[in-house]
Amino acid sequence: MKHRRLIVLAALLLSGIVVWFGLHAKPAREHLPGAEQAQRQLLRIWVVDAIGGSESWLRDCLKDWEKANPGAMTFLRRVSADELVREDAVLPDILLYTPGSIAEPDKLFLPLSGETGVKEELLRAGRWKGQQYGLPLCFGGYALAIDSSIEPHLAVTPAPTTLLGKPRVTADPAATPTPGFPASATLLAPKGCGLFTLGLILDERPALPEGFATTDAADVFLRFQAKQASSALLTTGQVTALGSTVPLRIMTPGQVITDQVFFASVFPGASNSAAQLLTYLTSAEAQRKLSGQGLHTVRDDLRLYVSGTEALIETAASHSLAAINAYGNAADTEAAAWQFFHGRITLDDALLPLL
């Protein structure tokens, strides 16, 4: 009798335990094929400064990269250089910038390696103390645009051409002769190394006031659009943006000297996908998209243009390309370009400390 009572109590206790676990256990989820998603990985990208058209190109490339990499997600944000040195700053994975925006990159970025297919002249511009810190993503040159209202007989007639298999209207540089700079023209130019291009284009260099070329390329573009000058030194992207909407005559240099380079750098602790993204941005697939912005490829094995101002700049760069070092002092570049334009120093002496 005693044993039977113990058996009954044990059975009741076991039943209670089973009921308790049944009440507290999580219900089983039905498995739905395809419902499992790859873990989302956020890649944070900051932009301190960009050349004209490069941000539009970048956004287009990021969309395609996300589609090709399930689980990848990018966040793009514009910041000032001051945010990089704030004590409470939570730094991103990648920083994008132009020459003169960053100093002493070794205190901010990881050294890069494994760059292939990129022009050496542009890679050199992203080096500091022998280490590669900045990867060039694209570049632009400068061209002198002259409003044809002051010389209508020299207006370039847009001619249909083919660009990468797509119909497009570009200015045919062979349609008209290329006379000198009009004596009556008023001139705008950005600060920085644009004066190098002016010095290469103009045989007779006009006298410039000391306050000349104190604005940036974006402001020059807006002022030229507003008819505040009859000529302006524009970037190739800006010439493309004007398109056939404004009758212009364009004068281009025989070689390209530029500070219009878009660089990318990686911070310590960045996601592994940061390197994958930079590899994609310098791939032929992504670089071909630069043609929509009038920008130039960093790749040695790729040409984007068959005619027009962009083609002339592309050809000039293939002959001689000098890119200003990304981490130099902007004031030094401005001073050297000013000295060269006025014939006080040679081009080699002006450029050597800046490369």
Q: What is the pLDDT of residues 34-45, one digit of tens each?
A: 333 445 589 999
Q: What is the pTM of this model?
A: 0.81
Average pLDDT over every residue of 152-171? 43
Instruction: Specify the pLDDT at position 65.
Output: 96
Q: For a pLDDT cut of 70, what percent of the chain falls above it?
A: 81
Q: Give yes or no for residue 3 having a pLDDT over 60.
A: no
- Span 167-206, pLDDT tens digits: 333 344 444 445 788 888 899 999 889 999 999 999 888 8
**Going from the N-terminus, what domains does the chain have, and what CATH number goes with each?**
41-139+260-302 (3.40.190.10)
Q: Give yes or no for residue 308 having a pLDDT over 50.
A: yes
**316-317-319-324 Cα dihedral, nearest 10 degrees:** 120
Q: For a pLDDT cut of 90, what percent of the chain falls above it?
A: 62
Evaluate the CA torsion angle 212, 214, 216, 218 in order and state its sign.
Answer: negative
Distance CA 62, CA 76 (A): 9
Q: Is 196 helix (H, G, I), strand (E, B) or coil?
A: helix
Instruction: Specify the pLDDT at position 169.
Output: 35
Nearest of 62, 39, 130 to residue 274 by alpha carbon: 62
State the burial class of residue 238 (Cβ atoms within 10 Å of its Cβ: 0-12, 13-18, 19+). Answer: buried
